[in-house]
Structure 1
Amino acid sequence: MKEVEVLDCQVQQWYPRFKSVSIATEIHRLPEAFVSHLLDGDFFVPSSDLPSRLVPEIPELQADGYEKWDEEDEEDGGEQQQQQPSFPELEAEVEASIRRLGGAVMPKLNWSAPKDATWISSSKNLKCQSFGDVSLLLKASDSIVHDLCHAFDNCDDKPSSSTGRPEELVLALRKWYDLRPEMEFRAFVRRGALLGICQREVTGFYSSLVSSKDSLRTAISGFFENSLLGKFELESYTFDVYVTKDLRVKLLDFNPWEGSTLPLLFSWEELEAIGDGSDELPAKPTSVEFRIIEREGLVQPNLTATSGVPLDYLDTGPGSAWDVFFRRTEDELKNQASEE
């Protein structure tokens, strides 16, 4: 895999060309200060997103107290109080995008979305209604570290001096939809031919898919031929789509062939074999291999099943991410109770 293949799959590269068949998205370039904030070890949401009742009250120090603190500062080298991060320009841009996109968004960076961090969201999904929601998910995510530090690790032409980071890091905000996981699919294209399609969520059995295989295969194959074939820079790649109830197909992502891309219900070896044995390119829709979990016992283990709340995040002091999380959850439960 070459570096250019990875770069071509960045959302800011492909979205302008395919936005008519994708979900409405607004893209913002990330300032270096915010990138550093995502990578450092401190876990705070931006100070401007804290409700006033979360700001701790600090009692005034008496005169003798000042003298004592001066002595302690001299002993420990004058340790200074840590400041909470603030990114007013980026925050204003993000809040404006959220309003334009209907009041709620799904965030992602160049390639990755913080799906592994939904445990910290009171809604347990990627729905964000403020800059603070976006920051909280990104800060709690391990998967976005791929975009920040390891984007080119699997590239054959990776320079030895490479930082693993693209020249431009972006935050893509997609209009929020409550997508059904069983209707997300990954398709595999080799040398311009659509070789296989499978469900993207492989940790669950969805009986509704069994009776819909043929119509889903036809819809996704038709989408490839009409909207993607010959229009994307790469000849070999994967693409992720969402299929609506009325079989309309929406493009979610492009991913490189192999590398860090998961083949899910296939293996790269068998996909290569299918491609090498294909005499007709592109393949006809009826000949495209379409795979789903056919019965309950065939589900694959959840990649995040062993992930829990990191111990480093168990700071519940005023202004900490956990403090905000607990209070937001409490407020949401109260709202739900009042609606019942």
Structure 2
Amino acid sequence: MALFPPLTSADILAFQFSAWYPAFSSLTIKSTVIRPLPTGFHEYLHSDGVFVPVGADDVPVESTLSDDEDSGDEEEEFPRFAFPELDDKIRECLRQYGAVFPKLNFSSPQDAAWVLPASSPLKCTSPADVYMLLKASDFMTHDITPDLVFDGCTETESGAKDRGYQLELVLRKWYPVDKSRELRCFVRDNALIAISQRDTNYYEFLNDPTSQRNIVSTIQNFWETNIRDKWTGPKHYIFDFLLTRDLSKGHILDFNPYAPRTDSLLFSFEELVTVSPQSEPIFRVIDSRAHPAASSNAPANQHNMVPFEALSLSSGLDIQEFAGKWKDEIQKSVA
């Protein structure tokens, strides 16, 4: 059996949010898909720098230095973008949901969570928040680059890889998520074969035998009842699931291709290809704080965690100049 089943461009498109959401809308987080997006939005995401379009917020985007300070450098000028109709659609979603977290067709800006308050990760309450998360995220590069979206697909004819692909903005109702109850579930040949803890921290309750039995039973029953016969995409797929606090119910978070681009977490794909369908899936968790896959104290996606103020100050400076200016700004903020 091949490690990764072949995928066509049509298979990949089955995993974009707008393709699966209509069939599973009652089993997942309330969401709104905005498509098509305005002319220039793709260019905005591709452009250099982290900035919001004109009119996205009532508060103008300004330098972190006060008007009477002379930085000795000219302010960096970003290209001007404005999307008033999209701003209105985002505000309408905010009125409906209270707060949202955004994603594009496949990816969410988890790596840019640092741009918003840590107490409410990814919680957007204005169009500017939405734009800032998307603009600061490296993960968005995948969705705005068709060659990456369809990388590894089997078609060889010219133009097959980008046929039918259109960028979309998804706004999902925000609420605090307990990451200890997020699971990743692996399906091969329409059989649920494995379940992995998604967050790589040690949680005592996940190692309790009774809790483990309840979790496996809940997910297997949910998949058999709500997913197996409704899913119309490839027969090999991966879905993310969030359990309720009592571990008896849950809802779908996302569907992902069974492909190298999807993190296999506590399994390896080499391992998964040898798993035969059983009466129940294999369940794997972080079983101790010394587990080799357990998180260290370093935050996730730390390579992308650059304070917003640093983005404003760093333009045109070498490392020594930037370090001096950044130190001055920190001293001012605590004075």
What is the TM-score normalised by the length of structure 2? Answer: 0.78
CA 1:158/1:52 → structure 2, altered by over 3 Å: closer, same or farther?
Answer: same
DSSP-derived class of the 1:274 partner: coil
Is 1:8 paired with 2:14? yes
Tell me, yes or no, if structure 1 residue 216 matches structure 2 residue 223.
no
Decide whether the 8 Å contact of 1:112 with 1:147 is kept in 2.
yes
Give runs of aligned pairs for residues 1-340 of structure 1, distance below 5 A.
1-29=7-35, 30-52=37-59, 83-101=79-97, 103-123=98-118, 125-149=121-145, 150-157=148-155, 167-201=165-199, 203-211=200-208, 212-233=211-232, 234-246=234-246, 247-275=248-276, 278=277, 283-284=278-279, 287-300=280-293, 304=300, 306-309=302-305, 314-316=310-312
Q: Deviations over 1:84-135 (max 9, x none)?
A: 321000110111012111x101111111000000111123611111111010
Provide the rounded CA distance (Å) in 1 between the counterparts of 2:87 and 2:202: 40
Whole-angstrom CA distance in 1 between matches of 2:19 and 2:95: 24
User: 297-306 vs 119-128, which deviates more?
Assistant: 297-306
Checking the alignment, whether the CA contact within 8 Å between 1:44 and 1:85 is kept in structure 2 is: no
Deviation larger for 7-16 or 299-308 = 299-308
Q: How many residues align?
A: 287
Query: Which one-letter code corresponds to 1:127 in the other structure?
Result: K
| Alpha-carbon distance change, 216 to 51 in structure 1, aligned in 2, over 3 angstroms | same
Cα drift, residue 230 of structure 1? 1.9
Structure 1: gaps spanning 5 or more residues: 60-80, 318-340
What displacement does 1:306 show?
4.9
Q: 1:58 to 1:169 in 2, by over 3 A?
A: same
Q: Secondary structure at the match of 1:173?
A: strand
Once the two structures are superposed, residues 227-246 of structure 1 have per-residue CA deviations (whole angstroms, 9 ceiling, x without a partner) of: 01121112110111100113
- In 1, Cα distance between the equivalents of 2:240 and 2:103? 15
In the alignment, is the contact (CA less than 8 A) between 1:151 and 1:166 conserved in 2?
no
Matched residues in 1 for 2:282 and 2:253: separation? 20
1:163 positional shift? 7.3
RMSD of aligned residue pairs (Cα, Å)? 2.7
Contact 2:198 2:265 in 1 (8 A): yes
Partner SS, residue 130 of structure 2 = helix
- Greater radius of gyration (CA): 1
Deviations 1:186-217 (A, max 9, x none): 1011111100011111x211112112111111
Q: What residue identity is the alignment partner of 2:178?
A: R
Structure 2 residue identity aligned to 1:237: Y
Question: Where in structure 2 are there 5+ consecutive unaligned residues?
Answer: 1-6, 69-76, 314-335
Cα-to-partner distance string for 1:60-82 (whole Å, 9 max, x where unaligned): xxxxxxxxxxxxxxxxxxxxx75
What's the CA shift for 1:269? 1.6
Structure 1 or 2: larger helix share? 1
2:206 maps to a residue whose letter is L
Q: Sequence identity, in percent?
A: 34
How far residue 58 of structure 1 moved from its aligned partner, in angstroms, is: 9.1
1:31: how far off? 2.4
Structure 1 contact 186–238 (Cα < 8 Å) conserved:
yes
